[in-house]
Amino acid sequence: MNFYNEMMDANDGVRAHYQGYDQWLKATPAERIARKRAEADLAFHRVGITFAVYGEEAGKERLIPFDIIPRIIPSAEWLALQAGLRQRVTALNMFLHDIYHDQEILKAGKIPAEQILNNAQYRPIMRGVDVPGGVYAHIAGVDIVRAGAGEFYVLEDNLRVPSGVSYMLEDRKMMMRLFPELFAKHKVAPVQHYPDMLLEKLRAVAPQGVSNPTVVVMTPGAYNSAYFEHTFLAQQMGVELVEGRDLFVKDEVVYMQTTQGPQRVDVIYRRIDDDYMDPRVFRAESTLGVPGILKAYQAGNVTLANAIGTGVADDKSIYPYVPEMIRFYLGEEPKLNNVPTYMCRKPDDLKYVLDHLPELVVKEVHGAGGYGMLVGPASTKEQIEHFRQLLIAKPEGYIAQPTLALSNCPTFVEEGIAPRHLDLRPFVLSSGKCVNMVPGGLTRVALTEGSLVVNSSQGGGTKDTWVLED
Amino acid sequence: MLSRTADHLFWMSRYIERAENLARLLDVTWQMSLVPQSLDAANQNWNAIIALNSLEVAYAKKYSEITAENVLRFMVSDADNFASIHSCLRMARENAHAVRGTITTEMWETLNSTWLEAREKSFEQLLNAGIGEFFEWVKMRSSLSRGTTLGTLLQDKAYHFIRLGTLLERADNTARILDVKYHVLRPQGDEGATDFYQWGALLRSVSAFEVYRKVYRDAITPERVAELLILRDDMPRSLHFCMNGVVKNLDLIANSHSGETQRQAGLLHAKLHYARVEDILEQGLHEWLTDFMDHIYMLGDGISKDFLAPMAEAA
């Protein structure tokens, strides 16, 4: 397979936007780079920029490997990408509003109604609830890959609690600290105002009539894999980091317990799944949530970001319909490509998938974190047979896509600098009519040769992402 | 500030202070045990440490007899003993982890690396290297965390809760050390060489040996030791010093229903402020200290109810 290389063109020439960096790299002694890499490792470790790994010993934390070769995106490419992301997230928010209100898209027959209404992530409790600004996915992490001759594809939309923005910010901080001279030479668009932008968006979606809203970040607790990010965001925004046990509801109003007594809470950036938010409505055994918070939410006394029930739009079985949503709600052609997707619930698709398993990537509809997936070309016969049985037993639980020739980028690995596959997660912020993002995102890179799985849970690393200004 | 955040900060500082004081207490007992004495007397000293922390039952489950090594093992590195130095350092770190966005990076790094280093040390290694060195290490790590707090943290409510935890814990511990050791030392009373070493060790355990010399420029007597550790308000580990800080920090975090707790603290403080050591000794030092520790416990309880524990006002 031929892979698009972010840095080099097909004739091994350096692409225009990488030329400055390439000159610097060639002129910089290997020892200096090695020293800087060691310095970065040490600093990340010392600061404890870590994530916990599910299934490992409780409290055990791992460092996400950081690569010092940036992923560079020229201005024009970014502007096109940004326009596509705005369009996509706008349509997704309209879709969410629609299916919890008039369901026009279902009536028009654009998406089979049972696909939505029987979806485990569809929350009937949200029917007819008006959320401020009509925004459901306040923070969306859209995973983008580049394939083929360099076209961008959306791999998935993460509309529930997308993680990784702290790495985007810490990676930039680290690069600026290690290589200030690079930033003097390149016009790298800044990303450090993300926390301000996020706070502004969260304040903008406060319940009606609240002029100076109290915003909090809500975490499941210190053992969550993204706990570092939760503390980081709360600290950067200067707001309280709360757990469910810090909150209580009285007369359909949410309060947090402070040393000065109860204080009203208006906006909750919650990093906890729907299922655990309210034991009176969802899982009764959940101790992470707040009893009665859904009633307060329905009454419009508190804003939850993201809204309850966004999961129905980022489900992998809904993903194939996003281009249709864009046409339906915006009357526009999608600016970003979807990856062709086989829906195993359809008999024809299932037959094709079963016949072509070694070429395809199969994903669980509700899977995340790179778990529960089959990468056909990289799998053993046993693994393929195992998935065949899974598919036959529960076809509606899976989708399949052709194995994309993901782009790669030079990366430091044990044997030196070598190309590794990567993706990009920009963080798209919505409040009412306004959809914004900082230029860039989190670039994740698969460190194992040939691997297409970039998830940090699967040993992936990260790179600083540079959007160059003209 | 969130009540839970305040709770974590309060206990973070209590646990680090507790680890330090435990190191001090074990160190003085260890040093006293090196001076020739009867086996009975020695065992009594080690037994007192277990009794002091009400750990008789937990101890008896693991060990059949009281020996220096057993008690040290139990109190230094036993992960099952929630009161061991090992457990205190772990809990200090866990509390810090829960509020790492509230404390400074330097504070977090200090407590985190203290715990990581402590976890690496096996008891056998500690014994071989000289257990005293370990106690010094614990004291230094505690000093370091106090120093980074003082040197880096904004002096807002978070700081006041940390100081409150530190000083309340220290008051309790100084009272305990004094109570245990004063008891052991007092009856002999003949100012022989042994006694001198014992009193010296006690003073050193609370970093007060040089202070004593400086303040009194005289022979070490039990009365003056008691006065120094209870009443001197410029001696950082004395009860009076600690209560000065408790009252002050409590005032700075006061809320609409903490009046009674503030009153109790003020009362306890006044007792130290206007007391004479002769009267305390006449009443009986043990009785006086027991009463003091009861009040410290009640104060901790009051702080917990007023500020830290959610008031269950949920609908």
pLDDT at B36 (0 to 100): 73
The sign of the torsion formed by the CA atoms of A345, A347, A350, A354 equals: positive
Nearest to B169 by CA among B17, B3, B7, B9: B17
Nearest CA in chain A to B101: A231
pLDDT at A1 (0 to 100): 63
pLDDT at B28 (0 to 100): 85
Give the pLDDT band (50/70/90) at residue A52. Answer: low
pLDDT at A60 (0 to 100): 55
pLDDT at B193 (0 to 100): 60
d(CA B241, CA B237): 7
What pLDDT, in 10s, does the model give residues B48-96? 889 878 899 999 999 999 999 999 999 999 999 999 999 999 999 999 9
pLDDT at A370 (0 to 100): 63
* Among B105, B308, B311, beta carbon nearest to A47: B105
pLDDT at A10 (0 to 100): 86
In the three-class reduction of DSSP (H, G, I as helix; E, B as strand; rest coil), residue B2 is classed as strand
Is the Cβ–Cβ distance between A354 and A391 less than 8 Å? yes
The answer to whether B233 faces chain A, any CB pair under 8 Å, is no
Q: Is residue B20's pLDDT more than 80?
A: yes
Give the pLDDT band (50/70/90) at residue A51. Answer: low
The answer to whether B101 faces chain A, any CB pair under 8 Å, is yes
Q: Is residue A255's pLDDT more than 80?
A: yes
pLDDT at B223 (0 to 100): 87
The answer to whether B2 faces chain A, any CB pair under 8 Å, is yes
> Which region holds residue A300: left if phi is over 0, alpha if psi is between -120 and 50, else beta?
left
The answer to whether A292 faces chain B, any CB pair under 8 Å, is yes
pLDDT at A329 (0 to 100): 98
Which positions 37-76 of A are in contact with B (Cβ < 8 Å)?
46-48
Q: Which of B4, B159, B308 to mutate to test the interface with A (most CBs of A within 10 A)?
A: B4
Burial of B236 (0-12, 13-18, 19+ CB in 10 A): middle
Find the range with the poorest average confidence among A232-236, A257-261, B205-209: B205-209
What pLDDT, in 10s, does the model give residues A12-35? 899 999 999 999 999 999 999 999
Q: Is residue B183's pLDDT more than 50?
A: yes
d(CA A200, CA A238): 12
* Among A47, A250, A259, beta carbon nearest to B3: A259
**Helix, strand, coil percentages, rounded to 5, for chain B:** 75, 0, 25
Find the range with the poorest average confidence among A180-194, A221-235, A297-311, B139-153: A221-235
- 3-state SS, chain A, equals CCCCECCECCCCCECHHHHHHHHHHHHCCHHHHHHHHHHHHHHHHHHCCEEECCCCCCCCEEECCEEEEEEEECHHHHHHHHHHHHHHHHHHHHHHHHHCCCCHHHHCCCCCHHHHHCCCCCCHHHCCCCCHHHCCCCEEEEEEEEECCCEEEEEEEECCCCCCHHHHHHHHHHHHHHCHHHHHHCCECCCCCHHHHHHHHHHHCCCCCCCCCCEEEECCCCCCCCHHHHHHHHHHHCCEEECHHHEEEECCEEEEEECCEEEECCEEEECCCHHHCCCCCCCCCCCCCCCCHHHHHHCCCCEEECCCCCHHHHCCCCHHHHHHHHHHHHCCCCCCEECCCEECCCHHHHHHHHHCHHHEEEEECCCCCCCCEEEHHHCCHHHHHHHHHHHHHCHHHEEEEECCCCCEEEEEECCEEEEEEEEEECEEEEECCEEECCCCCEEEECCCCCCCCCCHHHCCEEEEEEEECC
Q: Is residue A62's pLDDT more than 80?
A: no
pLDDT at B315 (0 to 100): 33
Rounded to 10°, the helix B222-230/B193-205 angle is 10
Number of cross-chain residue pairs from A and B with Cβ atoms under 8 Å apart: 70
List chain A residues with CB under 8 Å of B315. Answer: 248-251, 292
Give the pLDDT band (50/70/90) at residue B186. Answer: low
> What number of residues does chain B have?
315
d(CA A424, CA A144): 5
* Among A221, A234, A259, beta carbon nearest to B101: A234
CB spacing of B101 vs A46 below 8 angstroms: no
Beta-carbon contacts of B79 under 8 Å, excluding residues fewer than 6 positions away, are B86, B87, B90
ipTM: 0.81
Mean pLDDT of A229-254: 95
Give the pLDDT band (50/70/90) at residue A81. Answer: very high
The answer to whether B308 faces chain A, any CB pair under 8 Å, is yes
Mean pLDDT of A139-145: 96
pTM of this prediction exceeds 0.90: no
What pLDDT, in 10s, does the model give residues A411-461? 998 888 999 999 999 999 999 878 999 999 999 999 888 887 777 666 689
Q: Tell which wins on pLDDT, B152 or A63.
A: B152
d(CA A292, CA B213): 64
CB spacing of A248 vs B100 below 8 angstroms: no
d(CA A73, CA A18): 9
d(CA A448, CA A460): 8
Which positions 226-265 of A are in contact with B (Cβ < 8 Å)?
231-232, 234-235, 240-243, 245-246, 248-251, 255-262
Is the Cβ–Cβ distance between A281 and A297 less than 8 Å? no
CB spacing of B98 vs A262 below 8 angstroms: no
List chain B residues with CB under 8 Å of A234. Answer: 101
Q: Tell which wins on pLDDT, A217 or A365.
A: A217
Single-letter amino acid, residue A223 = Y
d(CA A47, CA A167): 13
Beta-carbon contacts of B192 under 8 Å, excluding residues fewer than 6 positions away, are none
List chain B residues with CB under 8 Å of A232. Answer: 101
d(CA B205, CA B23): 9
What pLDDT, in 10s, does the model give residues B275-294? 999 999 998 999 999 999 99
β pairing state of A151-158 and A139-147: antiparallel
Q: Is residue B299's pLDDT more than 80?
A: yes
Nearest CA distance, A47 vs chain B (angstrom) = 7
* Among A221, A249, A259, beta carbon nearest to B314: A249
**What φ, ψ does residue A436 adopt, rounded to 5°?**
-130, 165
Residue A358, CA atoms < 13 Å, CB-side half-sphere? 3
List chain B residues with CB under 8 Å of A244. Answer: none
d(CA A179, CA A145): 27
pLDDT at A238 (0 to 100): 93
Mean pLDDT of chain A: 91
Q: Is residue A247's pLDDT more than 50?
A: yes
Give the pLDDT band (50/70/90) at residue A48. Answer: low
d(CA B160, CA B303): 12
Nearest CA distance, A250 vs chain B (angstrom) = 5
CB spacing of B315 vs A251 below 8 angstroms: yes
Beta-carbon contacts of A302 under 8 Å, excluding residues fewer than 6 positions away, are A207, A253, A254, A265, A266, A267, A268, A293, A296
pLDDT at B311 (0 to 100): 56
List chain A residues with CB under 8 Å of B2. Answer: 240, 242, 246, 256-259
Nearest CA in chain B to A264: B2
pLDDT at A467 (0 to 100): 97
Express as a percent the part of chain A with pLDDT over 90.
76
Write down the residue that tokens 């330090």 correspond to.
B20
Q: Is residue A369's pLDDT more than 50?
A: yes
pLDDT at B134 (0 to 100): 95
Rounded to 10°, the helix A30-47/B105-120 angle is 90
Q: Is residue A50's pLDDT more than 80?
A: no
Q: Is residue B313's pLDDT more than 90?
A: no
Give the pLDDT band (50/70/90) at residue A367. Answer: low
d(CA B202, CA B125): 26
CB spacing of A246 vs B311 below 8 angstroms: no
Cα(first)–Cα(last) distance of chain B, in Å? 22
d(CA A371, CA A379): 14
Give the pLDDT band (50/70/90) at residue A42. Answer: confident
> Cis link prior to A337 (omega < 30° from 0)?
no
Cα(first)–Cα(last) distance of chain A, in Å? 33
Express as a percent the part of chain B with pLDDT over 90.
64
pLDDT at A161 (0 to 100): 93
The strand order across the sheet containing A342-343 reads A342-343, A398-402, A360-364, A373-375
d(CA A232, CA A166): 7
d(CA A184, CA A186): 6
Q: Which two tokens stand for residue A246?
A: 């810090």
CB spacing of B109 vs A258 below 8 angstroms: no
List chain A residues with CB under 8 Å of B253. Answer: 259
Give the pLDDT band (50/70/90) at residue A56. Answer: very low
